[in-house]
A and B are shown apart, each in its own frame.
Chain A
């Protein structure tokens, strides 16, 4: 069968099974096996062992369980809330301030994790409940988590950036530095959006409830101390990465141990709480991993059938002006985000596109940054996006996929603005890395 026809059939199967409300991971795996059997025969089943081994034995994916666990322990022991209580005590009078503190926390989480799943699920574990508890608009809260969690691959360390640099032989360090401008720009846009949107719709972000107002000075001091300690834990985890004690993945375990110690320290450790945090994490991890398993099986099948050749031949004879080529490539990557995950997009597109881009006279690092921004948007764009699924996993019951689709729209537009600015003004992206590390 022609790869174009096969791709069409696969997409149709996805749409039908999603419409029927099938569990995403099982549907993707089932479709790959069924369509594979019809088009290839039973030999295709041999794709399973390697896929399961490579996903389940992937060490970088361990940051997902470890960081979610840290987040769950912090939240269930009340230490995570302490962080936001304290921030409300200080800046609670500003409308939307809680969402702004969440962006702050997400940025710090982004500096700890290097993959998108860990970014979103950790941010969601720690920061979603405090916003919903205080009566924040559900859509605003979900969107903030999605946008903030996505910073995980934009703020260094970032696994997709390391993969891009390796497959195109560019400097990882330079790429990390180049990502700082879009990261800061994204954070500024997010914070501005929160402030403006809350000004226009005050009901989206209620001001600090009576809780802070009625506190005795002693309670206030305690809240501030608790908040300070929990922020300190985040800095300790960051510090363990920067000082070379642990890798970004391992540092999640340091965070877990730190959270348990803090819980004891604050006399908030309960065996039941500990057990529930473990059970909740196990459930979330299982849900996330079965999605990854099914999706990887699906994309491996699609790759074996030659989807990469389709992309390659597509870029061969373009006959477009340089910027047109760049835009078209980005549309392709956004489209690919419909069916495959962040790592495969880099593995497939970086070596295919970068040489063309360099031939056209563009800087490969700049193009790599555009690629990362694209991936970040692609995984958040409905109907199919890993980030959307992760967010639904972490959201409280009652949040529907439609809520999530609606909630991400304004934030995707913000990220699109960041992308367009970076695309139109390469100098803004490349100024700092060229300054620091030479052109």
Chain B
């Protein structure tokens, strides 16, 4: 029964994080397009836009921050794996839990501070300093979501690690390779 709850929780989070991680990558071509448009509009039409600069920064910041959780799920974040690769799989799980606590602490602070900043940004209607002056409150909300997704992913990894420590079995068997990863 407990296992079922864990499996339900973990696979749910895995799917949510993976969905957001994959969807957010649509911003990559958008980012290139916005900058290419700005170059064209400035060089060919001699009319630089007032919105491309900020828009491209918003796109890239969303892309970078929101993708953090999916990279966590895929173990893509860089680590120095010299000792890590040399220890037993149980010790690895212990290491994961310890480093997960540190990362979760960081994300917890991020969420709190970004939440305060979000409130301030709404209250005083903070904007970017440019001519276009778009509001920045959504940026802080995005950071809250990014931090929360990473925390959720860490919690889900921890449940899997703790389960393994107690039972020496994977909570969820290694997933099949994604269909769209295959086609490349």
Contact = CB atoms under 8 A, between A and B. Distances in A.
Q: Do chains A and B touch in the complex (CB under 8 A)?
A: yes
Interface of A: 17-27, 29-31, 33-34, 45-46, 48-49, 52-53, 56-57, 59, 61-62, 65-66, 69, 76, 240, 245-246, 250, 252-254, 256-257, 272-276, 278-279, 281-283, 285-291, 294, 383, 389, 392-393, 400-402, 405
7 contacts: A17-B102, A57-B57, A57-B128, A62-B56, A69-B29, A278-B29, A288-B64
Contacts of A52: 110, 114, 143
Interface in B68-97: 68, 70-72, 74, 76-85, 92, 95-96
B27 A22 contact: no
A283 B27 CA distance: 12
Contacts of A246: 39, 43
A18 B99 CA distance: 9
Nearest to A289: B64
Main secondary structure of the interface of A (DSSP, over half): helix
Contacts of A401: 79-82
Most buried by A among B25, B80, B81: B80
Interface string B39-82: 10001000000000100110011011111101110101111111
Interface in B101-148: 102-103, 105-107, 109-110, 112-114, 117, 128, 139-140, 143
A274 B25 CA distance: 11
Nearest to B95: A20
A76 B112 contact: no
Given A250-B38, A276-B180, A45 B113 contact: yes
Contacts of B21: 282-283
Given A21-B95, A33-B106, A65-B31, A285 B81 contact: no
B184 A289 contact: no
B39 A285 contact: no
Contact of B102 (A31, A278, A393): A31
B63 A59 contact: no
Interface residues of B, number: 66
A272 B178 CA distance: 13
Given A48-B113, A62-B60, A400-B85, A286 B67 contact: yes
Contacts of B25: 275, 278-279, 281-283
Contact of B80 (A18, A53, A76, A254): A18
B83 A20 contact: yes
Contacts of B61: 56-57
B92 to A, nearest CB: 8
B172 interface: no
A254 B103 contact: no
Nearest to A274: B29
A282 B24 contact: yes
Given A56-B60, A282-B21, A287-B77, 8 more contacts: A30-B106, A34-B102, A45-B113, A48-B109, A59-B56, A65-B64, A289-B65, A383-B80
Nearest to A57: B57
Contact of A256 (B36, B53, B81, B107): B36
B168 interface: no
Contacts of B183: 272, 276
Nearest to A402: B82
Given A59-B53, A400-B81, A401-B82, A287 B32 contact: no
A393 B106 contact: no
A282 B112 contact: no
Contact of A22 (B60, B102, B113): B102
